[in-house]
Every structure is written in structure tokens, then in C-alpha cells.
Structure 1
């Protein structure tokens, strides 16, 4: 059942303050713990569960619990932190930190400078790398799910509202249309029986960057794919966007997933955001450039040593001789002492 203000969970450990939001799969509540700290609890939508068979309900609950435990392992400062996972009655509950901040969807003015926008995209992109490494896909990245929270006296982007167990939809025959975020959802997530991959989050993050730099929500992926509607280049709306960023956005929003970057590090690198975090060279493979550089350095050192030796020899040759004794009065060549 849905909870209301005043309901207590886990024997009074958490008290419901109010409902924050409701989707097809989940309901999110603002709660207080026994120390009066504000937290967020997410659980499955009871109305949804009632529409399934008992077997489907059990399957969905299991998937939600499994993904909640995976999310708990995603430790990153730009991911909303999971406090704990527990079961209240039949329902799995995910307890998360409460991030009190404005979302990127509510920024005024709505258009950011390229430098500022790329800063937030880098933060969320690095967060998604951790998510993907833990076997999860966010599936609903858009400006409304990125909050700017004040941490360490800085405004930092925090990724929230993971669509846990959304892949349960591939078991059913229903459409995903109700769960999509218009303009930010990739075309493959509209199709029945499709499981999201890393390139799905790349599409959504590229669309988010599009919105941050233009103030315009990109055209719906289905309209592009089915109706042939054209995706206007973001640079046409904002000529100040660099060619590199413009191209990275367009590549990230390719309709065919195979034409996008296949990993988040790859896409971030196309934006010039991960140069310092590239993979080290494979062990056992010599770095010819480094070896050449070392060779040049040793050659230079040897050359300097030779030069110094030559200078020393010249000093010896041209060193003034000490005074000599008066020349002999006897006939014959004069003698000269070697210094």
C-alpha cells in the first residue's frame, strides 16, 4: 500500500513526511530518521504491483531488490548515495540521501556557457562510468534528474532517480512510452523487449548537453526515426558552441546505437574531458616513444660529456706556461719545460 505522512517504517526508524514523486514503477518519499535527518525512500508502486500476476510481482520485487543492492555499491560523489536497502512487509525499500538543490531543468537562465555545461557533464559522465561498471544503466538521464547540491562549498551535479527494474518491461508486452522522457530517451528504449546498454545513457547525456547549451529540448527520437524529423545541430541555435562539442553531441545522439560511442569514457574523451584518465598502456608492451625519448636524453648527456672533455683539453693546451729560466748561452736549441 502507498504510505502517507506520519507512517513509520522499520519499527519507527523512518517517518514518512510526504510523497516526492510517482512513476509507473516507483514511488519516492521524503522521510526523517530517528535523528531528524532528512532522507529519501524509494519503493515500488503498489498500484502497478496489483496489476501483475503473483509470479510477475515476485519477479519485479526480486529485480528491484537486486538492482538496489547494486546501486548501493556505486560509491561516487556525483551519485546520490544509498544509505541502506531493507524490506518493509513485501516491499523492498531503497533509502538514499536527500539532496536539497535545484535541478539543471530549473536553471535560470536556462542556457549555460560551454565551460560550465561541460563541467557538469563531466561530473555526471564519470558518475555513470561507475554505474555501468556495477552492471547498471540509469535509463532516465535528463536535466530534471541532475541536481546541483552544495558540497564542500561548491555547486556539484548529483545524479538521482535511477529507474531500477525498468528492464522488467522486456518480460511484458506493454509499451514503454509512459516511462520515457521526451527528447532525452534514445529510440531503443521505446521498443518492446529492448534491454538498455551504456550507449543508451550516452544518448540521454548528449541530449542533456544539447539542452544546457541551447535551452531547447531536442526533437523526440521516435519522430526522428519514424517521421524523419531532422535533429537541428545545436550550433545552429548557439553559434558559440565549439565544433568539437557540437560533433560530440550529434554523435552521441545517433539513432543507431552502433554509431554512437560504445562506452562513456569514449564519449567523454570525444569532448576532451578525460585526457587525464585514459587507460595506461598494456603491461609488457614497450613504449617506443618513451624509449626513444630516453635514448635521446642519454645521447644528449653523452654529447655534453664529450663537449666538457674537449673544453678541458683546450684549457690544458692554452694554459699559460710558467716563467722559464734564462736561455742558455751555449749554442744549440733552447729547452722548454712541459707544464
Structure 2
């Protein structure tokens, strides 16, 4: 049903729904447009309307071939409660839909898309704008030209909705699979959070799943802070080093957007002819689909995908890796990783990459490891106990006391918390 937005635009049908609002196909004075109408509960907030009005110039001023341009900002409507962004209409799917259809992309295609988006981020960051919600749903693919062109949309929306004074809850805002560690740890978002999210998208385009996704959102956020991404086999070492550097826990270690775009484009000739990676898919029993794991994901859109029979998104098992990352580098260390760290593989990752047909770690092996750990702990406790008694004997002289009586060992508290009347010798 047609609906008027402001005095110049009319919407006709829904193109998609997200966590912040609904995108409509619309018509304006200059032809077809896409109109993003914010949710009614957001539009009813007078502070939010004021923030959008304040940022109008910034939202309308971002121009780049890989940015979905904002043509107009509408505040008010027939019921004086609409807040809508009028944007260029991109004829093509979003990256999420494309990825669900293709499962994995060839390395050259994945890197070309990522380079396009990095170029868009470079322009935004130069203007002082941080996107804060880079993910496949916010990357559109224009298929009308001779080649596919990736465009980033929804600039500024996450920032405006998540102003500190809005709600006052102080929680983590975003989709957990793409949230940078410093956001989890409470630091304000800078340009580096967009780099982390974008390279997480690159990893997903190559592997078919995100490096730290799967399971409860809280577990995903924990992995973002404490674990390293599993290395992807079958890609040039230089590309893996770049991915690893941009997934560094320390924001200062990551490349800037302009550097990332340049490095990725330099790699494109080396990726010609490489097929999509041939690695094992997550097992069905390893965890819920990624859509269910991502708090803050577009619930309405996910419901539409389920109803349409779209394939489930990849899941990563909710288990700890073989070895925890005891030397984790968080934002508190703020240093650039050395060459040895960049060349390292997966340590403490939520999922270890395996080739097709390679058996996954079985419960029997993990059970045996647990039993070995318990035996080791029991042995250590026994050694500590013997050492304590030996140390007491040493300091007491190892023999009779000065008055000729045998030394009395220290009293031991018996189970139940009561102290016996007579000392108890272990």
C-alpha cells in the first residue's frame, strides 16, 4: 500500500527489514529511491530526531562510488512521527543473500568486495564518521554494470541511535560476530572497529563462517577478546598476514582503511584463478545457526529468511580450543605484533579448520584428556601435602623438641569445620 513520506516521497513495497527500521522501494521527484523508515519507537524519541537533524550535513555529504548515497533526510510526516533516510536505489542483493546462495566466494571475489568497502570506509573516516555496524547485511552489490560493485550503506545510523544518553544502558551494541574487542571491553568506538568488522566479513566470505561466531552471544563476545582466528588454508601467506593483522586485539595494530584498500588491490592479481576454499563445514550438532547466535541481528529479516526456506547460516562449535591464548594481546597492550606472531596459526580458537572428510575431535579423546588433567591435579596436591609436612619437620629441627618430647605436628581441621581435641597427623 502506498504511503507518503514527507511531501516529496511515496513508498510502494518493502525491500527489507532490519534492526533499526524498514527499507521501502519509493518514488521521488527524480525517480526511484530507497527509503529507510526508522522504527516507530525510535522515531518517537525527540532526542533522536534532534540528533538526526544535527547530523544532516554529514549524512548528506558522504559521496563515493562505494557508498550508498543519502539524498534526503525526512523528519515528520502525516503523523509527524516519521524519521526516514532517502537513499540511492541499488539494484542488486545484499552481501548476506549472496553469501547464503554461494556459501563461499573465490578469494579474488572476496578480496575485491572487501577492497571496495575499505575504500568507502577511508572516505568516511577522513570525514570523522565511524560506521560501527559493518556486516554483510549492510553491504549491497550493484550488478547493473559490467562488474559487481560493493556499496556500504547505513552510515551514521548506529552512532545516532546509540548515543550515550539514549537509553543509558551502556551495553554492547552491534552484531556479536563483528564486534571489535575494544567495544566489548567498554572503550569508545574509533575507526579501527570498522576495520576489524570488515576483515571479519572477509574471513566469512572466504570460509563460509565468522572466526568467532556460534553459540550464545556472550560466548561470542568472550572469544572476540580472548582468542585468535583459525588460519585459513589455501590462501597466499600475504593475505593471511593481512587478515591476522586487521583482526589484532589491539586497535593500534590494525591497518587504516586507506592502507587496507591499497594492500587488498595489490593482492588481486595473485588471486586470479583460485577456487573457493575447500574446507570442512561446521557439523550440524556443533551449535545453532549464526543468525540465532547474533544478538542484535535483524530479527525481522531473519524471520523472513526462515519463512522463505533460506539455508541456515554457518555455525561454529561452542567449545574451547586446544590451547588457550595465554599471551593474549588486548587493547591494553597497544603494540604492533611482530612477524612471528603474524605468521602463527590458530591458538585458542573456537574452531580449528579441517579439511573435508577429516574427523572432528571426538568426545572420547577429550574425556581421556580430562582424566589425565584430574590425575595430574591429584598428584600435584599430594606433592604439595608432602612438601608441607617436610617443611614443618625441617623448621622444627626434624627430631625431638627442647624439652625432650616428640614434636607435635600442626593441627588439621577435619571435614565439617570442627577442630579435633587432639592433633590429627595426616
Q: Above 0.5 in TM-score?
A: yes
User: For residues 104 and 225 of structure 1, do their structure 2 counterparts lie closer, same or farther at Cα, with a shift above 3 Å needed?
Assistant: closer
Structure 2: stretches of 5+ with no match in the other structure: 269-426
Contact 1:73–1:134, Cα closer than 8 Å, also in 2: no
In the aligned structure 2, how far is the partner of 1:216 from the partner of 1:165? 24
Contact 1:112–1:213, Cα closer than 8 Å, also in 2: yes
Superposed CA deviations along residues 202-230 of structure 1, whole A, max 9, x for unmatched, are 00111011011111122149646636763
User: For residues 68 and 241 of structure 1, do their structure 2 counterparts lie closer, same or farther at Cα, with a shift above 3 Å needed?
Assistant: farther
User: For residues 272 and 27 of structure 1, do their structure 2 counterparts lie closer, same or farther at Cα, with a shift above 3 Å needed?
Assistant: closer
**Does 1 or 2 have the higher relative contact order (CA < 8 Å, sep 6+)?**
2
Superposed, which structure 2 residues align to 1:69-84 within 5 Å?
69-84=57-72
In the aligned structure 2, how far is the partner of 1:18 from the partner of 1:176? 34
Contact 2:42–2:48, Cα closer than 8 Å, also in 1: no
Pairing 1:265–2:282 present: no
Contact 1:114–1:213, Cα closer than 8 Å, also in 2: yes
User: For residues 43 and 109 of structure 1, do their structure 2 counterparts lie closer, same or farther at Cα, with a shift above 3 Å needed?
Assistant: closer
**TM norm structure 1:** 0.66
Corresponding position of 1:9 = 5
**How far 1:26 sits from its partner (Å)?**
4.1
Match of 1:226 among 210, 216, 222: 222
User: For residues 175 and 197 of structure 1, do their structure 2 counterparts lie closer, same or farther at Cα, with a shift above 3 Å needed?
Assistant: same
**How far 1:96 sits from its partner (Å)?**
0.3
**How far 1:23 sits from its partner (Å)?**
4.6
**TM norm structure 2:** 0.54
Superposed CA deviations along residues 23-55 of structure 1, whole A, max 9, x for unmatched, are 5544433322256x33122243221355xxxxx
Instruction: Quote the RMSD (CA, aligned, Å).
Output: 2.9
**How far 1:183 sits from its partner (Å)?**
1.3
In the aligned structure 1, how far is the partner of 2:140 from the partner of 2:91? 8
Greater Cα radius of gyration, structure 1 or 2:
1
User: For residues 105 and 93 of structure 1, do their structure 2 counterparts lie closer, same or farther at Cα, with a shift above 3 Å needed?
Assistant: closer
Say how many residue pairs are matched.
257
User: For residues 103 and 49 of structure 1, do their structure 2 counterparts lie closer, same or farther at Cα, with a shift above 3 Å needed?
Assistant: closer
Structure 1: stretches of 5+ with no match in the other structure: 51-56, 276-339
Contact 1:146–1:158, Cα closer than 8 Å, also in 2: yes
Contact 2:134–2:178, Cα closer than 8 Å, also in 1: yes
Corresponding position of 1:256 = 250
Superposed CA deviations along residues 248-283 of structure 1, whole A, max 9, x for unmatched, are 11211122323323x2123334546499xxxxxxxx
Contact 2:179–2:221, Cα closer than 8 Å, also in 1: no
Match of 1:30 among 20, 25, 28: 25
**How far 1:93 sits from its partner (Å)?**
2.9
Pairing 1:130–2:123 present: yes
Superposed, which structure 2 residues align to 1:316-327 within 5 Å?
none
Pairing 1:204–2:192 present: no
Superposed, which structure 2 residues align to 1:1-339 within 5 Å?
5-11=1-7, 13-33=8-28, 37-50=31-44, 57-88=45-76, 89=80, 91-107=82-98, 108-164=101-157, 166=159, 168-171=162-165, 172-177=167-172, 179-190=173-184, 194-220=187-213, 223=219, 226=222, 230-235=227-232, 239-261=233-255, 263-271=256-264, 273=266
User: For residues 34 and 266 of structure 1, do their structure 2 counterparts lie closer, same or farther at Cα, with a shift above 3 Å needed?
Assistant: closer
